[in-house]
Chains A and B, each alone.
Chain A
């Protein structure tokens, strides 16, 4: 029968796990630390279904430990971000839309312990990326609710040289890959100077008091709520609640927008690695549209969208 080999594979996988896990985990910890301690600059490509772009990154760590980083798209529209110590200093035009706090692109520490609950971590070999020797880590999901990641880390610096996102059939959803990397060379002040199109980001103050008005009846195992926010709808004056869930590696956001009687149908779409599912939900206060956006399989996003509930007695304001 065809599934007997599968059983062997499963057991084989479990037995082999502890032996290599320790070394693989060391690499993950080195990765988590790499950007905090090393300066580098390089060029990378980003590819997903329907999009291919090239970018340049300048990353400098001062003697005092201050991290300055500038990212710029090299082809097409000039898009740029400048970050200092994890908070965003300025962003260029279209990216700036909707950005109302400095926490965008905020740092979430890679929690290797937590990540291992949902992923099987293994070293699967060595490779060469951007002319540099790399070690290849595989993060295979333990269930069907998340995607796998293949990480190529620089042998010397543990910086991620290449990162592939793969679905359950092993098909490539997204590629991030350096084509050239220079480790140890400090980017100059001039290189870290943002262009004229880069608009300064000012901190917004009153984002603190957010009422937790929504919860999910079902979540994929390992995912927990990492952030709750509320902001104005991009298309109306309604307040949209947004919840971010995180499993140590993958992330999805849930947006809840009141419909106020407007007739809107459900929708679903897939943009490269990102699934987006909108589901209408009836509440005591009228219908709302629940939209789940994230790098998770469409079926999982759908199930999350169906599981959102209003917390009793706390209607949306």
Chain B
């Protein structure tokens, strides 16, 4: 397969637009040092464009690997275990953190606007699931994956606590909101729509 096609796929993965084929292609080539370097460059470019803080030298995977290495493993043949684990692990952890954060942010800013969108959302986390282990999700977006169902299950501890308050909070918010003196119609309609639920 040509390098160009691979980079195209990598770009798609980064943009969270990869289909399953592309994702597999990138994953199967993830041992390739050049590909990993490209991935890293893309991340830096992306961070610059989004004016995000990025510390390219921050290598979480290396730190994790070092910590693992210090641990007394019950296995005798440390080197055999460490070799492949480190190279795969380094990419996997770094990639999974990035993918988890990207997927998390995307998922996070979603809402249940339309069922079609829900379908898309379901596909996105599934796509990153092989890499994005739960600890990576916990890093920044602990509850992102439970977004949809949580409102319903949230009041387990004290049933109805939120149910009692949220409608009133929503109402207060709608009443305080108004775009300007002329446009009281929109916030009024917003408030009214809450009542006829």
Asked whether A and B interact, the reply is: yes
Interface set of A (CB-CB < 8 Å, partner B): 1-3, 6-7, 31-32, 34-36, 44, 46, 48-51, 53, 55, 57, 67, 69, 71, 73, 76-77, 79, 81, 83, 86, 94-95, 97-99, 103-110, 144, 159-160, 163, 167-169, 171-174, 176, 227, 231, 233-235, 242, 244, 249, 251-253, 255, 257, 262-276, 278, 289, 291, 293-295, 297-300, 302
Q: Does B197 contact A (CB under 8 A)?
A: yes
Q: Is the CB of B173 within 8 A of A73?
A: no
Neighbouring A residues of B183 by C-beta, 8 Å:
35, 160, 163
Q: Does B158 contact A (CB under 8 A)?
A: yes
Known pairs A51-B193, A94-B195, A276-B166 / 13 extra A-B pairs, C-beta < 8 Å? A3-B46, A49-B113, A95-B175, A105-B188, A106-B178, A233-B165, A235-B168, A244-B176, A255-B169, A268-B150, A276-B169, A299-B108, A302-B108
Neighbouring A residues of B157 by C-beta, 8 Å:
262-265
Neighbouring B residues of A302 by C-beta, 8 Å:
108
Q: Would you give the shortest CB distance from B190 to chain A, in whole angstroms?
A: 7
Q: Is the CB of A171 within 8 A of B165?
A: no
Q: Would you give the shortest CB distance from B41 to chain A, in whole angstroms?
A: 10
Give the distance in Å from the alpha carbon of A269 to the alpha carbon of B152 in the complex: 9
Identify the 5 closest CB pairs spanning chains A and B, nearest first.
Answer: A35-B182, A267-B154, A234-B168, A46-B189, A107-B181
Q: Is the CB of B173 within 8 A of A53?
A: no
Give the distance in Å from the alpha carbon of A242 to the alpha carbon of B184 in the complex: 21
- Looking at the complex, which one of B45, B166, B196 makes contact with A77 (CB distance below 8 Å)? B196
- Looking at the complex, which one of B12, B49, B110, B192 makes contact with A73 (CB distance below 8 Å)? B192
Q: Does B129 contact A (CB under 8 A)?
A: no
Q: Would you give the shortest CB distance from A314 to chain B, in whole angstroms?
A: 22
Q: Would you give the shortest CB distance from A203 to chain B, in whole angstroms?
A: 15
Assuming the A-B contacts A257-B165, A298-B109, are A265 and B156 also in contact, with contact meaning beta carbons closer than 8 angstroms in the complex?
A: yes
- Looking at the complex, which one of A35, A51, A176, A294 makes contact with B186 (CB distance below 8 Å)? A176
Assuming the A-B contacts A252-B173, A274-B173, are A234 and B45 also in contact, with contact meaning beta carbons closer than 8 angstroms in the complex?
A: no
Assuming the A-B contacts A46-B192, A77-B195, are A298 and B182 also in contact, with contact meaning beta carbons closer than 8 angstroms in the complex?
A: no
Neighbouring B residues of A274 by C-beta, 8 Å:
170, 173-174, 190
Neighbouring B residues of A242 by C-beta, 8 Å:
172
Subset of 7 A-B contacts with CB under 8 Å: A36-B182, A46-B193, A253-B169, A257-B165, A265-B157, A294-B173, A295-B177
Majority SS at the chain A contact face? mixed
Neighbouring A residues of B45 by C-beta, 8 Å:
3
Q: Is the CB of B189 within 8 A of A44?
A: yes
Q: Does B55 contact A (CB under 8 A)?
A: no
Q: Does B134 contact A (CB under 8 A)?
A: no
- Looking at the complex, which one of B111, B168, B180 makes contact with A298 (CB distance below 8 Å)? B111
Neighbouring B residues of A57 by C-beta, 8 Å:
185
Q: Taking CB as reference atom, which chain A residue is nearest B156? A: A265
Q: Would you give the shortest CB distance from B109 to chain A, in whole angstroms?
A: 4
Interface set of B (CB-CB < 8 Å, partner A): 7, 11-12, 15, 17, 42, 45-46, 49, 105, 108-114, 117, 143, 147, 150-151, 154-158, 161-162, 164-197
Neighbouring B residues of A159 by C-beta, 8 Å:
182
Q: Is the CB of B108 within 8 A of A266?
A: no
Assuming the A-B contacts A51-B193, A244-B176, A271-B194, are A109 and B181 also in contact, with contact meaning beta carbons closer than 8 angstroms in the complex?
A: yes
Neighbouring A residues of B179 by C-beta, 8 Å:
108, 110, 249
Q: Is the CB of A278 within 8 A of B162?
A: yes
Give the distance in Å from the alpha carbon of A283 to the alpha carbon of B150 in the complex: 24
Q: Would you give the shortest CB distance from A26 to chain B, in whole angstroms?
A: 16
Neighbouring A residues of B150 by C-beta, 8 Å:
266-268
- Looking at the complex, which one of B154, B170, B178, B190 makes contact with A108 (CB distance below 8 Å)? B178
Q: Would you give the shortest CB distance from B33 to chain A, in whole angstroms?
A: 20
Give the distance in Å from the alpha carbon of A59 to the alpha carbon of B37 in the complex: 64
Q: Would you give the shortest CB distance from A2 to chain B, in whole angstroms?
A: 5
Q: Would you give the shortest CB distance from B123 to chain A, in whole angstroms?
A: 15
Q: Would you give the shortest CB distance from B189 to chain A, in whole angstroms?
A: 4
Give the distance in Å from the alpha carbon of A50 to the alpha carbon of B150 in the complex: 19
Neighbouring A residues of B155 by C-beta, 8 Å:
264-265, 267
Q: Is the CB of A2 within 8 A of B12?
A: yes
Q: Is the CB of B172 within 8 A of A51?
A: no
Q: Is the CB of A171 within 8 A of B114?
A: yes
Q: Is the CB of A34 within 8 A of B11?
A: no
Give the distance in Å from the alpha carbon of A286 to the alpha carbon of B21 in the complex: 52
Give the distance in Å from the alpha carbon of A59 to the alpha carbon of B190 in the complex: 19
Assuming the A-B contacts A264-B157, A268-B151, are A86 and B181 also in contact, with contact meaning beta carbons closer than 8 angstroms in the complex?
A: yes
